[in-house]
Amino acid sequence: MSNYLAFDLGAESGRAMLGTLEGGRLRLEELHRFLNQPVRVPDGLYWDTFRLFHDIREGLRIAGRERQLVLNGVAVDTWGVDYGLLDSNGELCQTPRHYRDPRNNAAYDAALAAAGRENIFNHTGLQFMPLNSLYQLYAARLAGTPALDIATRLLFMPDLLSYWLCGVQKNELTIASTSQFYNPAQKRWSTELFETLGLPPAILGDIVLPGTRLGGLLDEIRDTCALGPTPVFATAGHDTASAVAAVPATGERSWCYISSGTWSLMGVEIDEPVVTPKALELTLTNEVGVEGKVRLLKNIAGLWLVQECRRAWILEGKEYTYAELTEMAAGADPFLAVLDPDQFLDPGHMPERIAAYCRSTGQPVPERPGQFVRICLESLALRYRQVLESLEALVGFPIEVIHIVGGGSRNGLLNRFVAEATARTVVAGPNEATAAGNILVQAMGAGEIAGLPHLRQVVRDSFDLETIDATRDPAWDRAYQRFLRLK
C-alpha cells in the first residue's frame, strides 16, 4: 500500500487529497480544503500566494502529525499560465498576478502587433487569450515592472510551490505548454518570441517531464509536519493535464474529453501538435500532456457563468447552493434564450449582463435564477457541440464518446444536456480526475504505474462512472441554429 498526497489548486479553492494505491485500485480522501481568493489592490489583481503555501503546509501537517502517515510522494497541480519571478537568491520578486488582471488586455493587443498573430501561433500552436503568460510578461515589460529586470528565473505556479517544498527550481512540461512561449513541435522554449518582445530568455529554466522526482521535502518542513523522507514529484502540473491523464478511456471508440469546472477544456488526445492555418482559424490550442501526448483543445468559459451569477445573488442576500440552482434550472422552460459563454469572461454583475445581452439580441429576458442557470447550461452544451464539430473537422474522424471529468461532471443536468445537444454518448466521471491524475502520475514516477494505459485502467477500476446516451433531438438542432446565428 502506498500513500501519495496531491495538492490540487483551482481558481476558487485548493485541496490536499490523499491517494492510497493498493491492489491496482486508488482510494481518495480529502485531508484539507482551503479557499483560493485573489486580492485586488489599487495597481491590480494578485494571487494570495503565501496563504496558498501556508495551506499546503497545513495539509502536510495533517498528513504527518495528525494522521501519522508515511508519504511516498507529494506533488502540486494548479491552473495554467500564472507564474512567479525569482531573483538570484531564489526570493520572490513580486507577488504573482492573477490571469484576470486588467492590464493584460492592452498588452495582448500590443504583443500581437509587435510579434504577429500567425508568427506567434506558428511558434507555439496555442490559442490566443489575453491571460496567457506571454502577454502577462509583456504587460510587465510595458509597465516597466522592476521585478522583470532583476528576475533570474520564471516558475509557473506549481513549479513555484514545488520549489518552496523542496528547494529545486524546474519548469514542468505540461504547465510550460500553457504559456504561449513553448514550442510543442520542436519541444523547446520559443526564445524567438522573447527576443522579439524584449523579454529576457535567461529567466526560462530547465523543463522536466511529468513524473520527475524533483527532490525531497526540505528538512524544516519535514520537522514541522512530522514527516519522514518524502519525495516531491513534478506531476502533470497543469490541472487539465492531470485530469486528462485520468480520463477513463479504453481506446476502443474514438473519444474527446471535457475537463469541466470554472473553465471547460474540451479536446482530443493526439500524438503530434496540429499547427496549421485551419487550427489557427478555429482558435484551437496544442498543450502537452503525459507521455508526450498533445492535448488539442479549446478553452471555454465553463461553469464560470453560473458561479458568477451565484456570487451576484449572494451579494443581494440570496444564497443558493449549486444543487438548488441546478434543480431550479431543471424546472425552468427550455431554450428561453441562447448566448455565447465566451463573451462573458469578465467578473461581476453576471445576471445583469446576461439580461442585457438577451435584450440586445431580441431574446426573452430571464427573470428567475432557474431561468438564468438553464440558459447558461444549455448554451454551454451548444458551445460544446460547436467545438466538437471543429475538432472533428480538424482531426478528420468522427468522435463517438465524450468523457466529462472534473468537478463539473457531478452536474447531471449539464451532462444530459451535452448528450442531447451532441447526440453522442457521454461518460461522466471521475469528478476527482485532477487529483487522481496528479497522484497516479506520481506513482508513475515512483515506478508503481507502468504508463498511461495502466494509469487509465486503475481509474476505470477505482471509480463509478455514469454513461448517458441520447438520440438527435430536433429541439436541440433548432437551438443550435439560433446559437450559430448569434456568433
Query: What's at 297, amino acid-wise?
Result: L
The CA-CA-CA angle for residues 79, 42, 108, to 5°, reads: 50
CA dist 202 and 195 (Å) reads 11
Contacts of 354 (CB under 8 A, 6+ apart): 305, 309, 339, 344, 366, 372, 375, 376
Positions marked active-site: 239
Task: Say how far apart CA 237 and CA 245 lie, in whole Å.
Answer: 11
User: Cell numbers at residue 6, please?
Assistant: 496531491
Contact 37, 48 (CB under 8 A): yes
Phi/psi at 237 (nearest 5 deg)?
Answer: -65, -25
- What's the CA gap between 225 and 233, in Å, rounded? 18
In sequence order, which ranges of 350-468 are alpha helices (DSSP H)?
A: 350-360, 369-395, 412-422, 433-445, 452-462
String of DSSP letters for 206-251: -EE-TTEEEEE--HHHHHHHT--S-EEEE---BHHHHHHHT----S
DSSP conformation letters of 95-127 = PPBPTT-TTHHHHHHHHHHHH-HHHHHHHH---
* H/E element, 166: helix 157-166
The single-letter code of the amino acid at 397 is F
Ramachandran category for residue 197: left, alpha or beta (phi over 0 → left; psi -120 to 50 → alpha): alpha
Q: What's the CA gap between 10 and 230, in Å, rounded?
A: 24
> What's the sign of the alpha-carbon dihedral 445, 49, 19, 286?
negative
23: left (phi over 0), alpha (psi -120 to 50) or beta: left
* Separation between Cα atoms, residue 236 and residue 438, nearest integer Å: 6
Instruction: Work out the number of other CB atoms within 10 angstroms of the CB of residue 349.
Output: 15
